[in-house]
Amino acid sequence: MARVIVMDLSRHNTVMVGHDRYFVLDTGGRAELVRDHCPHRGGPLSLARRTPDGRRLSCPWHGTKVGIAAVRRGCLPMVRSGDEALVVLPDGAGAPVSVTHREILANLPPDPTHHDEGAEHG
């Protein structure tokens, strides 16, 4: 059975479910809870910077570009009302859950000095 948690988005932007971390990504005025994991080598996408076009994240570990559309495909279901969000967690009966606040570089404006090189995913 799926578990549902309530997040206060004014205080929390990260959810840990067992060993899997998710973070709130602003996708054009819409907040989505996405996996904090680069498909290339598992780098923390929350610390990625947006490319100048704003459509991709550049992984902080190897510079791999990951399309935001691809990242969104793995987001957790979330219903938001103001600063409150109901989140449906992935199956994982008994996995510990915690909510925290971390610095999310992926929500900063695109980096205009970023050079568009490196592998592409999604």
Domain holding 87, by residue range, is: 4-121
Q: How many domains does the chain have?
A: 1
Domain containing 28 — which CATH number? 2.102.10.10
User: For strand 120-121 and strand 20-26, is the pairing parallel, antiparallel, or unpaired?
Assistant: unpaired
CB 63 within 8 A of CB 56: no
Q: What local confidence, expressed as pLDDT, does residue 42 receive?
A: 81
Please state, in angstroms and rounded to a whole number, the distance separating the CA atoms of residues 42 and 35.
10
Helix (H) or strand (E) holding 71: helix 68-73
Tens place of pLDDT per residue across the chain (122 aa): 678 999 999 999 999 999 999 999 998 778 899 999 988 788 899 999 999 988 999 999 988 899 999 999 889 999 999 999 999 998 766 789 999 999 999 999 886 765 555 555 55
Would the pTM count as exceeding 0.95?
A: no
